Amino acid sequence: MNFGVIGSGSWATALAKILTDNGNTIHWWIRNTDTISYMKTRRHNPKYASSAYFNVAQLHLNDDIQKVVANSDVLVIAIPSAFAEDVLKQLPKDAFENKKIISAIKGILPTENLLLNEYLHKYFNVAIENYFTVLGPCHAEEVAAEKLSYLTFTGVDEATTKKIAQHFNTDYLKTITNHDILGVQYAAILKNIYALGAGIAHGLDYGDNFLSVYIANAADEMVTFLRKLVWNNEPTDEQRKINYAASVYLGDLLVTCYSLYSRNRTFGNMIGKGYSVKAAQLELNMIAEGYFASKCIHKANSTVNAQIPIASIIYQILWEHLPAEEGFIKIEKLLI
């Protein structure tokens, strides 16, 4: 398999490191030509996951996305959901023909409120059988430091999912496979919203005792949404077997809520301390997916109709100017 990576942020850099550490040579699309020149001489990304060093002989760096896509059999798309449409619009409609796509996006594409697989099917005719996700509790900073982590690869084709996952196995990265392609993507979106809320709680000076109750309730709320989304009316036996306590669901929620590496938690902490959304965005200087996700889930839930009051209140704080203190007084009354 010839792998291509689209994106040059922390998560894209971490995934590129995993692939190259496992012996793969990759084609890598990086928008900024200065970053490409720097990496060719200094062997690391100057802005993101900069402690991860590469063997440049394994890197084909290019600022032409069409060339990267053309030279790859499997494309890892690892760009923030808010920017994905602008990047993908550069490609012709047949660009992904006979390609496998791995989504490392933890958000909804905002213009039409679509998951990446929905967008790719609509505009590039990508079949769900050729679409996979890589998700789970795995901070880029810990991958760069080679701390043991676990990632879940999800796809409807079990054999191909396992084959792809094998290319990411290293001494410090273990892989798991799963077939819940819709549920894992929405879990990744929701956990960023709840992590942002955890940061707000910290900024408002709530303690660990409150936070543990908040996260437990958020986990229950997330499962409520996922079951309503995936089960529809009568769930199949396979759907009933989904383990929502697994790492790609609960594990990712926990680490994103608790970890100091979590940009969503950091962003929320600023909001709790009184920063405006715009000021927090400028200070963070990275994308906090939970901010955009809260609006996207608010829209999506108009169809799903799940009871997700915590996510709804976080949306109100971020988008409807509900004071954080008032919002969390409301959340206090919900928790059990």
Residue 69 CB: number of other CB atoms within 10 A?
Answer: 20
Name the percent of the chain lying above pLDDT 70. Answer: 99
Residue with tokens 């430091």: 145
- Sequence spans of domains, the chain: 3-179, 182-334
Burial of 160 (0-12, 13-18, 19+ CB in 10 A): middle
Q: pLDDT digits over 179-209, tens only?
A: 999 999 999 999 999 999 999 999 999 999 9
Question: Token match 């206090």: residue?
Answer: 332
* Distance of alpha carbon 92 from alpha carbon 95, whole angstroms: 5
Q: Is 87 exposed, middle or buried (0-12, 13-18, 19+ CB in 10 A)?
A: middle
CATH class of the domain defined by 3-179: alpha beta
Helix axes 116-124, 81-88, angle to 10 degrees: 10
What's the whole-model pTM score?
Answer: 0.94
Length of the chain: 336
76: helix, strand or coil? strand
Q: Which amino acid does the sequence have at 15? A: L
Pick the CATH number of 182-334 from 3.10.129.10, 1.10.1040.10, 1.10.3720.10, 3.20.20.10: 1.10.1040.10
What pLDDT score was predicted for residue 237? 81
- Give the sheet arrangement for strand 3-6, strand by strand: 59-62, 26-29, 3-6, 74-77, 100-103, 131-135, 149-154, 173-178
Question: How far is residue 283's CA from residue 44's CA, in Å, rounded to a whole number?
Answer: 24
Please give the C-alpha separations between residue 51 and each of 16, 44, 46, 165, in angstroms, as whole numbers.
13, 7, 9, 24
- Ranges in the chain, pLDDT < 50: none
- pLDDT score at 233: 63
Q: Which residues pair with 10 in a beta bridge?
A: none
Of 69, 64, 68, 56, the residue nearest 17 (C-alpha): 56
Strands 149-154 and 131-135: antiparallel
Quick check: 184 and 178 in contact, CB under 8 A? yes
Per DSSP bridges, beta strands 149-154 and 173-178 are parallel
